Amino acid sequence: MTAVRRPLEELAARLEEITGSPVDADELLRAVTHRSYSYENDGAPHNERLEFLGDAVLGVVVTDHLYRSHPDLPEGDLAKLRSAVVSARALGAEAGRIELGDYFLLGRGEESTGGRRKNSILADGVEAVIGAVYLSGGMDAAAVLIHHLLDERMERSQRLGAALDWKTSLQELGAARGLGAPEYLIEDSGPDHAKTFVATAVLGGEPVGTGEGRTKKAAEMLAAEAAWNALSESASTEQD
C-alpha cells in the first residue's frame, strides 16, 4: 500500500498555480508528513514545526483582513470572528480545495482508520502547507493561498453575522426557530492522556451537527458550528 496516494508533484503544481510561486520540494514533503509516519520511519521530519509557523502566518493574514474589513468592530468581536474563521473545522473543511488529504504520508494506524479525512489531520496539514509556502515564497505567496482557501468562509461569516460564539449563535437560532435550547451528547475515546471527544448538537430532539476535539468544550463548539451552518443552509434552500 502506498503512503501517498497521489504524486506530491501534483500538489506542488497546484500550489504554484494558486500562488504564482514555486514551493520547495523538501518543505512540501515535510508539510504532508504526519508524525505517525515519522514514528514508523526512523524519525523522518514531520510537519509539526511547519504547522506552528503556518498557524502564525495564518493568524496575521486573517487578522489583517478582518481588521480592515470591520473598522467599527471592537477587539473582542474581531478575536471571536477570527477564531471561527481559523478553527480546526474551518481549515479541515477548506482542505478539500487543494485535495490535501490525498497527499499525506501517514502511519499504518492512521491510514487504516481514515486519517486522510480526519478533520484534525487536515487542519494541521493546511497550516503546515501554509508554512511551507511562506518559507518558499514569502508572505505574499502565503497570503494568496490563505485567501484562496478562506475568502468564501470569511465573507459568509461576515454577511451572516455568525461565528462570534457558535454555541450562543446556535442557541439564538434554535430559539428563533422554536426548537428550544440545544443539547450536546458527548462520546470519548482513547487513553486518559490523549482522549478524543465527539459532540453531537441536538435541537428539537434531532441531531443537527457533530464536532470532534481534544476537549469537550472544543468538540461542542465545533458541533455548534456544524449545526448552525446546516440549519442556515437548509433555510436558504427553502427560501430558494
Task: Based on the residue annotation, tell me whether 111 is a catalytic residue of this protein.
Answer: no
124: annotated binding-site residue? yes
Whether the pLDDT of residue 108 is over 60: the answer is: yes
Which residues make beta-bridge pairs with 199? 186, 211
Task: Based on the residue annotation, tell me whether 127 is a catalytic residue of this protein.
Answer: yes
192: annotated binding-site residue? no
pLDDT for the residue numbered 184: 97
220: annotated binding-site residue? no
Q: Which residue has the higher pLDDT, 158 or 41?
A: 41
Domain limits, the chain = 8-165, 182-238
CATH placement of domain 8-165: 1.10.1520.10
Read off the pLDDT of residues 175-188 as tens digits, 9 standing for 90 and up.
989 999 999 999 99
How far apart CA 73 and CA 78 sit, in angstroms, is: 6
Task: Say what percent of the chain tops pLDDT 90.
Answer: 55
What pLDDT band is residue 240 in, cutting at 50, 70 and 90? very low
What pLDDT band is residue 4 in, cutting at 50, 70 and 90? very low
Domain covering 182-238, topology: Double Stranded RNA Binding Domain (3.30.160)
> Grid coordinates representing 70?
470591520
pLDDT for the residue numbered 89: 76
Read off the pLDDT of residues 132-156 as tens digits, 9 standing for 90 and up.
999 999 999 999 999 999 998 888 6
How far apart CA 60 and CA 72 sit, in angstroms, is: 19
Q: What is the pTM of this model?
A: 0.73
Residue 44 phi, psi (nearest 5): -55, 145
How far apart CA 222 and CA 166 sit, in angstroms, is: 8
Task: Say what percent of the chain tops pLDDT 70.
Answer: 91
Question: Is 198 in a helix, a strand, or coil?
Answer: strand
Read off the pLDDT of residues 188-209 as tens digits, 9 standing for 90 and up.
988 777 788 999 999 999 999 9
Question: Which one of the listed residues 27, 127, 212, 225 is annotated catalytic?
Answer: 127
Whether the pLDDT of residue 159 is over 70: the answer is: no
